[in-house]
Amino acid sequence: MSLLLFYSSELNDKSIVSVFNETIIGTTTMAHRTHHTGIVVSDMEKALAFYQDLLGMSKIFDSAVGGTQVEHVVGLEKVNIRIVMIELDDGTRIELLHYLSHPRPAPARGESCDIGCSHVALEVDDVDAVCQRLSAAGLRINHPPEVDDRGYVKAAYVHDFDGTIVELIEILDESKCPF
């Protein structure tokens, strides 16, 4: 099934939603799981040092990609990207993207409340030990891990080498944790 969306000055937000609901809802085109989370990095080796060496994720794919199809998907011309897919034991994947053809410096990161993707959350067995290891490697941690008010989780925000926020969560009581 294909859906062609177009803009018309005669359409308003309600009619677009109506067309969307009539065409999409209830079909097999609905999202059914997260495949991966993509993070653009300025230095792949530093990113791998963080995600693979310090957090223990496994590399499952490493390749340079480009060409017309990639250009169409990412919306950039003459693109060349090194992509490394890393994975946790449960199958959760993060795609690290280093744009070789469109280098950018790591942006000045704002606050965790800024609009847009705020963080990636990874569950760990011992958040204190992981934070100590990351701190020893020179990474910024907002505050030492703390238990939430309900006693469900102990968590901390750490910033990777580019400033991307990664929340580390230790589930303290699986039977009480609502998420």
How confident is residue 15, by pLDDT bands cut at 50, 70 and 90? very low
Q: What predicted TM-score, i.e. pTM, was given to this entire model?
A: 0.78
pLDDT per position as a tens digit, 132-143 = 999 999 999 999
Say what the pLDDT of residue 21 is.
52
pLDDT per position as a tens digit, 60-119 = 999 999 999 999 999 999 999 999 999 999 999 999 999 999 988 877 766 788 777 889
Q: Mind listing the domains of the chain with CATH numbers?
A: 33-104 (3.10.180.10), 115-179 (3.30.720.110)
Minimum mean pLDDT among 1-5, 47-51, 60-64: which range?
A: 1-5
Backbone φ and ψ for 154, nearest 5 degrees, come out as -120, 130
Backbone φ and ψ for 141, nearest 5 degrees, come out as -120, 130
Task: Strands of 14-147 (E only): list them.
Answer: 37-40, 58-66, 80-87, 93-99, 120-123, 140-141, 146-147
Question: How many CB atoms neighbour CB 23 within 10 A?
Answer: 15
Say what the pLDDT of residue 4 is.
44
Q: Is the pLDDT of residue 34 over 90?
A: no
Q: Return d(Cα 71, Cα 116) in angstroms, integer.
A: 23
Task: Strands of 41-176 (E only): list them.
Answer: 58-66, 80-87, 93-99, 120-123, 140-141, 146-147, 153-159, 165-171
Question: What average pLDDT is seen over the chain?
Answer: 85
Say what the pLDDT of residue 177 is.
76
Q: Return d(Cα 127, Cα 13) in angstroms, integer.
A: 45
